Copies of this chain bind each other. A is one copy, B any other.
Amino acid sequence: MIMDEEDFKRHLKDKTNEINEIIKTYLPAEEGAQKTVIEALNYSVLAGGKRLRPMLMKEVYTLLGGRSRIVEPFMAAIEFIHTYSLVHDDLPAMDNDEYRRGQFTTWRVYGDGMGVLAGDALLNYAFETMLSASSMKTEYEDIYSLYEAMQIISKKSGIYGMVGGQCADLEAEDEKSLLSEEALLFIHEHKTAALIQAAMMAGAILAGADLETIAGIERCAYNIGIAFQIRDDILDVIGDDKELGKSTGSDAENGKQTYVTLHGIEKSEEEVHRLSDEAMKILDSLGGNNDFIKALVAMLVGRRY
């Protein structure tokens, strides 16, 4: 085993708290005539979440030798982008969800229109936060790495990344047609894996990694993202109501196609193994103390290493 379970849980808790503190320092003050949209923005961010993307970013950054606080505004920003996508996904115009993580969704508290604005505010604020990083730049960082980190994050968040995946997902739901394996993979790759890639690649870029290392991280993050998604689909079938926070079998009931409905449990488990093994191999190739990030990946894909 990579890391003793108790040890991992303690580290996970400490690191999550640390990330929450970092995120809080970047949240805007709730004041001025635009106070309501700022409250809605802060409510959305503070409603919880595993902070998985900033955590992966920080781990990769540290693993590759990064030692400064320059990564922090980028950690906050990637969580803001993830949060805005949830705020807009929950809107009546999209999934029409009233609850998320046991709390009212943003639009349910602040209204429909303010829900749209809060998501817009968050996406814009993510870029404002990243662009604030230049003020904390030391002689060890160069402006080009900040610029490149923003480039990869913006690409993986937009039409060639997350928004592209949401578009394909929205159309698949509307049409209720059978998805090809290719179409399903497109959705997972863009809607789920792209932002994990953005997080880990930005961590690598900010640490000054070379192009080959960044390409390895891109593949590694892809594998983690897809394995994580298939594992989620498996849990929907074999059950683990507590862990998943939604009822077993809901995908099948909703007629939703997943990797599991296409290939069955056994082949799905095999695919999770193949993808996560490859991700672990890439992490090992980087050297350094990778105990925590490997334990984190193991948790995400539901395996013991």
Chain A residues near B (Cβ < 8 Å): 28, 32-34, 36-38, 41, 84, 88, 91-94, 107, 111-117, 119-121, 123-125, 127-128, 131, 134, 143-144, 146-147, 150-151, 154-155, 157-160, 163-168, 170-171, 174, 183, 186-187, 190
Contact = CB atoms under 8 A, between A and B. Distances in A.
A107 B91 CA distance: 14
B127 A163 contact: no
A116 B134 contact: no
B34 A164 contact: yes
B155 A117 contact: no
A195 to B, nearest CB: 12
Q: Could you say which of A91, A113, A116, A168 has the most chain B C-beta atoms within 10 Å of its C-beta?
A: A113
A179 to B, nearest CB: 10
A37 B143 CA distance: 33
Copies of this chain: 2
A117 B33 contact: no
Contacts of A187: 33
- Grouping DSSP codes into helix (H, G, I), strand (E, B) and loop, the A interface class, with mixed when no group exceeds half, is helix
7 contacts: A36-B167, A37-B167, A84-B120, A93-B113, A94-B116, A116-B119, A125-B159
A37 B163 contact: yes
Nearest to A132: B151
Nearest to A120: B163
Given A93-B93, A123-B120, A143-B144, A34 B154 contact: no
A158 B121 contact: yes
Contact of A164 (B32, B91, B146, B186): B32
Contact of A28 (B116, B154, B159, B170): B159
